[in-house]
Structure 1
Amino acid sequence: MKQNKYSYVWVSLVVLVFGIIFIPRIVDRVKDGTIVKTDRMNVKSGNEELAFITLNGQKRRVPEFTFLNQDSLIITDKDYLGKVYVVEFFFTTCPSICPVMTKNLVTLQEEFKDEENFGIASFSINPRYDTPHVLKEYADKYAINDLDWHLMTGEHEAIYELANTGFNIFAAEASDAPGGFEHSGLFALVDKRGYLRSRMDKFGNPIIYYRGMILEEKGENSTGETEQISILRTDIKKLLEE
C-alpha cells in the first residue's frame, strides 16, 4: 500500500511540473497562431537552400525574350540578369484573379523598393489589346512605379510560347472564361543568373511555382489553398543574399 501511495505522489508531481512549465507555452502558441501556421503549412520552413527547377536533368533558365514595356522601351531577358525577379502572366481587362495578383506584387514592390537587385516581369496574354499605352494606364492605376517592374506586350505567338513552353505556366484564349482568357495565377521566381528556383514541399520536391491569386492577408481561398506570398517574400530575400 505504501508503494502505491508513493507512486501516486510521484505521478502527481510529474503532472504538476509539466503543467507549470509547458501549458503556458502551449497557450501562448495558440494565442499567436504558431501552432496553426506550422500544422497547416504544406511546404518546408524555407531554411533550406532553394532548389533549382530542372527539365531532363538540366537546370531551367529563362528563355530569351524581347518585348515592349509600358514606356514603349525594348526589354529583354538580359535586362534582368543580376536581379532576383518574379514572373507573372496577366491581362489588364481580367475580371477575376489578375487584380489580386497585381495587389500581391505591389506588396512585394513596396517590400523591396530599396533593393536595386529586385524586379518583376509581367507579360500580357492579351497583347492585341494591351498596348504600351494601356499597360501604362494599368501601371498608374495600381501605383506600379518600380523601374525594374516591366509590364510587357509583343507578338501574340511569342508570349504564348514563353508562357506555355518557356515557363510551363498555362495561358490560353478561351471564349467561355472570364475576360476571354484562361491562366493559372502562378508566380515564377528567378535568381540573379536567370535560373528558375523554388523552395521544396514537405516531401522534398520543388514546389516550382508560388500561388499569386490569393491575397496574403486573406490567408486562404474557399477551397482551403493557402496564400504563398509570405513564403515568396522569404525566398526572394534568400536569393538576394546569394
Structure 2
Amino acid sequence: MMKKTNYSYIGIAFIILVFGILFVPKIVDRISNNDITRKESRSDQKLKNKALKQSDLVFIENTNNGENRRVPAFSFVNQYGKQVTNKDYEGKVYVIEFFFTTCPTICPRMNNNLVQIQNTFEDFEDFGVASFTINPEYDTQEVLKNYASTYDITNPNWHLLTGDKAAIYKLANEGFYIYAAENSAIEGGFEHSGNFALIDKNGFIRSRKDAFGNPIIYYRGITSEEEGTDDNGEVEQISILKEDIKKLLNE
C-alpha cells in the first residue's frame, strides 16, 4: 500500500514538472512580450490619437479659481415656445450672442454675420447658435419667431431665447462677461457688446490666441468678412471664427 502511494505522488510531481517545463515559459513570454504589451500599445495609441485630435484653441480660465470656464446653467424659452437649456447644446459646437430684435445699430449686422456662419455649416448637425434677447419684455416667443423668419434663420440648433430679465442679464454680465445693460439715453434703449463667444462640445468657452500668446476670449461680431475692417481699422473676425468653429467640430 505504501509503495503504491509513493508511485502516485511521483506521478503527480512528474506531471507538474512537465507542465512547468512546457507551458510556464510560454505564459511568461506572452505576458512580458505579447498580450499585455499589445493592450498597452493600443491604449497608448488611443491616447495619442485623442491628443492629436485636440485643436490648438485654448480654454478660458476663471480668474477666481483658475478652472476652465464652462457655460453657466441656463433655461429659457425659444422662438417655438420650447424650453431650452444648456444641456440641449451638449455635444454641439455653438456661438453665443446677446441682442434684441428692435436694435437699430449693431444687432442686424451681428445676425447677418451669424446667418452667413449658419449657411457655411449648414451640413453640420452638431453646430448651433444661442441668441439671448436683452429685451425679453418685448421679445416674446412670437416676436422672436418672426425675427427668425425675417433673417432666414433655418438651423434647428439656433435658438432665440427669452425669459426672466434678471436671469438673462446675470448670464451676460456674470456668466460670460459679455456686457449688457438698459440705457434709456441711447438709441434703442439698450446697450450691449457686439462680441460672440465660442463654445465647444463639452460646454467650455474656447478661443485662439493673439499675436502675444494671450486668448482673444471673444470674437468681434459686427464687421463682416466683406467689409474687412471697421471704422477703427480693426480687422474682421468672422473669418477666423469660421476657422475655429471647424476646428472644434473636428475635435
TM-score, normalised to structure 2, is 0.77
Alignment partner of 1:199 is 2:205: no
Instruction: Give the equivalent residue in structure 1 for 2:219.
Output: 210
Instruction: Give the equivalent residue in structure 2 for 1:49.
Output: 56
Letter paired with 2:240: I
CA apart distance, 1:178: 2.0
Instruction: Give the equivalent residue in structure 2 for 1:176.
Output: 185
Q: Residue 59 of structure 1: SS of its match in structure 2?
A: coil
Instruction: Give the equivalent residue in structure 1 for 2:71.
Output: 62
Partner residue of 1:132 out of 141, 149, 152: 141
Q: Distance in 1 between matches of 2:204 and 2:184?
A: 34
Q: How does 1:76-155 map to 2 (within 5 A)?
A: 76-155=85-164
Letter paired with 2:90: L
Letter paired with 1:180: G
Q: Mark the runs of 5 or more structure 2 residues left unpaired by the alignment.
A: 1-54
Q: Distance in 2 between matches of 1:159 and 1:202?
A: 33
Q: Distance in 1 between matches of 2:243 and 2:231?
A: 25
TM-score, normalised to structure 1, is 0.80
Alignment partner of 1:160 is 2:169: yes
Deviation digits for residues 100-131 of structure 1 (CA, Å, limit 9, x no counterpart): 00000000110001101100000000000000
Q: Mark the runs of 5 or more structure 1 residues left unpaired by the alignment.
A: 1-47
Deviation digits for residues 84-110 of structure 1 (CA, Å, limit 9, x no counterpart): 000000000000000000000000110
Q: Distance in 2 between matches of 1:177 and 1:52?
A: 35
Instruction: Give the equivalent residue in structure 2 for 1:42.
Output: none
Letter paired with 1:54: E
Q: Residue 210 of structure 2: SS of its match in structure 1?
A: coil
Letter paired with 1:87: I
Alignment partner of 1:221 is 2:230: yes
Percent identity reads 63
CA apart distance, 1:225: 1.1
Letter paired with 1:67: F
Alignment RMSD (CA, Å): 0.7
Question: Which one has a bigger Cα radius of gyration?
Answer: 2
Runs of 4+ in 1 over 2 A off after TM superposition: none
Deviation digits for residues 53-94 of structure 1 (CA, Å, limit 9, x no counterpart): 001311000000000000000000000000000000000000
Deviation digits for residues 27-62 of structure 1 (CA, Å, limit 9, x no counterpart): xxxxxxxxxxxxxxxxxxxxx700100013110000
Q: Residue 172 of structure 1: SS of its match in structure 2?
A: strand
Q: Distance in 1 between matches of 2:217 and 2:227?
A: 22
CA apart distance, 1:211: 0.2
CA apart distance, 1:226: 1.2
